[in-house]
């Protein structure tokens, strides 16, 4: 009896294991498609203040503390300077970069951050649908927590990459999903 009992347990374990593997495969298929790395290796743009994601994420901060979007709207948005000042009113105040930050805060002017990722005007883009579908920030923007300076490490703004992921994750691939060109009958 013993060996048969053993093989029954083995079969049960095998079934559980394959179910687990199967469910992992399914969930990664629906959400976490790879996004191609940017073959151009573009340099990080010169920013008005040398902000480091690596330094700040090491403090345990969540992305959404600073990028409060996309509700309302489609943009993640950049942090208001007041969010920086909750710490920098007292942290590292003698550093030149923090003096400059403090000047921006006093002037009430937003910091003119140089954009890193930008889709062509006229392309329909929203963060919301992607976050709702469970796509992670890092899938499209790379290992942000390791970046001292933000640069365009993936090719996520190209049509090829949008389409590749949409095909693999069975999202909308019709031209109209991403482009609002006038239809031929409207143009007449
Ligand atoms: C939760 C607190 C916190 C917030 C919020 C925060 N920082 Fe910092 N920041 C720190 C700490 C801690 C350091 C490291 C200070 C040190 O090295 O002595 C730092 C370092 C820096 C430095 C490097 C200073 C230097 O020259 O060594 C810059 C620049 C900076 N922060 C900019 C910002 C900006 C811009 C924002 C808002 C977008 C911000 N920080 C938000 C805590 C914070
Ligand atoms: C303490 C505030 C803070 C936190 C936390 C933070 N960011 Fe940022 N982020 C900024 C600032 C300031 C900029 C603009 C400067 C720059 O590009 O480095 C920025 C820029 C970016 C950009 C470039 C946007 C563009 O097109 O110009 C991306 C992408 C980004 N952050 C993603 C993330 C992700 C993902 C996380 C969480 C893993 C995160 N950030 C957490 C402050 C923050
Ligand atoms: C499916 C891919 C994808 C995901 C997931 C994604 N992003 Fe983006 N992100 C983009 C694209 C594409 C742009 C350029 C959009 C534009 O030009 O308006 C962008 C632009 C940005 C910008 C600058 C413009 C803005 O929206 O304010 C920030 C900041 C940003 N992303 C942060 C994040 C953070 C934080 C997360 C996770 C919470 C995230 N992104 C998730 C693709 C993505
Ligand atoms: C990593 C995968 C991934 C990438 C990269 C990606 N998308 Fe998506 N996209 C999705 C998923 C998943 C959905 C949600 C599908 C659903 O809800 O049925 C979606 C939904 C959308 C929608 C809403 C479509 C609808 O009918 O509601 C638009 C518009 C869109 N994406 C545009 C873009 C554009 C433009 C790019 C490139 C700049 C892009 N996406 C890149 C995965 C991706
Ligand atoms: C999932 C999103 C998505 C879908 C679906 C899509 N495109 Fe695009 N398309 C883009 C993005 C993003 C760009 C901008 C690429 C860049 O900046 O390099 C673009 C750019 C273009 C351009 C060149 C720039 C312009 O706007 O004139 C043409 C032409 C184009 N697409 C045609 C099409 C056609 C035709 C279809 C349907 C067969 C289609 N696209 C479907 C996302 C998409």
17-73 pLDDT, tens digit each: 444 444 433 444 445 689 999 998 889 999 999 999 999 999 999 999 999 987 777
Picking from 120, 134, 118, the residue whose alpha carbon sits closest to that of residue 171 is 134
Does residue 49 share a domain with residue 5?
A: no
Shared-domain flag, residues 3 and 38: no
Task: Determine if ligand 1 sits within 6 Å of the CB of residue 56.
Answer: yes
Q: Ligand 5 atom 19: the closest Cα is on which residue?
A: 159
Residues 124 and 145 in one domain: yes
Q: What is the mean pLDDT of the chain?
A: 85
Same domain for 42 and 1: no
Tell me the CA–centroid distance for residue 56 and ligand 1, in Å.
Answer: 7
Q: Does the structure show a pLDDT above 70 at 162?
A: yes
Percent of the chain predicted with pLDDT > 70:
79
Q: How many domains does the chain have?
A: 2
Residue 112 lies in a domain: no
CA nearest neighbour of 175 among 163, 187, 186: 163
Q: Is 178 in the pocket of ligand 4 (CB under 6 A)?
A: yes
**Together in a domain, 150 and 188:** yes
Separation of CA 76 and ligand 1 centre (Å): 20
Return the minimum-mean-pLDDT range out of 66-70, 71-75, 137-141, 170-174: 71-75
What pLDDT is stored for residue 65 in this prediction?
A: 93
Whole-number Å distance, alpha carbon 168 to ligand 2 midpoint, is 27
Q: What is the pLDDT of residue 24?
A: 39
**How many CA atoms, within 13 angstroms, populate the side-chain half-sphere of residue 133?**
20
Residue 168's domain comprises 34-58+119-188
The answer to whether position 66 is within a domain reads no
Report pLDDT for 183: 59
The pLDDT score that the predictor gives to residue 26 is 40
Say how many Å lie between the CA of residue 153 and the centre of ligand 3.
13
In a domain, 81, yes or no: no
Predicted TM-score of the model (pTM): 0.90
Let me know if residue 75 belongs to a domain: no
Q: Do both 131 and 152 map to the same domain? A: yes
Give the pLDDT of residue 185: 57
Shared domain for 53 and 6, answered yes or no, is no
């Amino acid at each position: 009896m013993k060996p048969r009992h053993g093989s029954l347990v083995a079969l049960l374990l095998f079934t559980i294991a394959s179910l687990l593997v199967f469910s992992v495969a399914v969930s990664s298929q629906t959400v976490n498609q790879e996004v191609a790395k940017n073959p151009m290796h573009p340099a990080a743009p010169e920013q008005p203040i040398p902000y480091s994601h690596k330094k700040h994420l090491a403090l345990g901060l969540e992305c959404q503390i600073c990028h409060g979007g996309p509700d309302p709207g489609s943009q993640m948005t950049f942090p208001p300077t007041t969010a920086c000042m909750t710490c920098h009113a007292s942290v590292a105040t003698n550093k030149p970069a923090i003096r400059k930050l403090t000047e921006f805060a006093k002037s009430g002017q937003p910091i003119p951050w140089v954009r890193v990722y930008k889709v062509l005007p006229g392309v329909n883009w929203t963060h919301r649908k992607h976050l709702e579908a469970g796509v992670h920030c890092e899938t499209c923007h790379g290992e942000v927590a390791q970046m001292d300076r933000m640069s365009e490490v993936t090719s996520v703004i190209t049509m090829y990459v949008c389409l590749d992921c949409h095909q693999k994750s069975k999202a909308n691939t019709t031209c109209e999903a991403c482009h609002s060109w006038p239809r031929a009958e409207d143009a007449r």
